[in-house]
Amino acid sequence: MEKIIEGKAFVLGDNVDTDQIIPAEYLSYNPSIKSERKMFGRYALSGVPKETSGLPDGGIPFVDMSDENNCQSEYSIIIAGKNFGCGSSREHAPLALAEAGVKAVVANFYARIFFRNSVNGGYLVPLETDEEIYKSVKTGDIVKIDIEQSTLTNTADGKVYKLKPLGDVAEIIEAGGLFEYAKKFTIYNLKFDI
């Protein structure tokens, strides 16, 4: 996990659900096949209604669909409000964001299953804040997250926002997900005599 994450912000509001993050129609792709896995990135956030995307012109796609080979977004940090990742428990939601190039999501709070899927898969860094950052940062602003200091800085105006520390999940994210973390400590390599 990078200690400093810097990039363009994509701003969303409250209650962004997993069907908006990756609509069910795109779940037919197989994430274990590399050429299909990247398609999750292509369709990440394609279910978000344009009028709620936080952009003054009614919205732009998260991934530029004009190039059929493009599966990466220019936005690497998502800033949202409350209850990010609500809805179904699909693990594909944080995977889709990671495949699109998202490194971190900052929200007021998450649906628990989205948070756990993000951490367990090692897909992205889910950060929380008590501040309503999504109301002041604009889509396209360059922001810098300092993981160790638990801050987000908007480089457009220099304003610094306080984030909650990652706590114990930092080690799992750092390891690359729950399975890699378990391997590190040989949790699942234990042999039992029956």
Query: For 121-175, how does the pLDDT look when each residue is reduced to its tens digit (9 = 90+)?
Result: 999 999 999 999 999 999 999 999 999 999 999 999 999 999 999 999 999 999 9
pLDDT of 107: 98
Domain ranges of the chain: 4-184
Question: Cα–Cα distance between 148 and 145 in angstroms, integer?
Answer: 9
Q: What confidence score (pLDDT) does residue 56 get?
A: 47
CATH class name, domain 4-184: alpha beta
**Rounded-to-integer distance, Cα 40 and Cα 189, Å:** 32
pLDDT given for residue 186 in this prediction: 67
Beta bridge partners of 167: none
Q: Would you state the pLDDT for residue 154?
A: 98
Residue 64 has pLDDT above 80, yes or no: no
Indicate whether this model's pTM tops 0.75: yes
pLDDT (tens digit per residue) in 19-61: 999 999 999 999 999 999 999 999 999 888 876 555 545 556 7
User: Looking at residue 187, what is its pLDDT?
Assistant: 55
The reported pLDDT for the residue numbered 183 is 84
DSSP-assigned states of every residue in 33-78: SHHHHHHHHHTTTTTS-GGGSS-TTS---SS-TTSTT----SEEEE
Q: Which amino acid is at 175?
A: A
Banded pLDDT at 108 (limits 50, 70, 90): very high
pLDDT exceeds cutoff 50 at 76 = yes
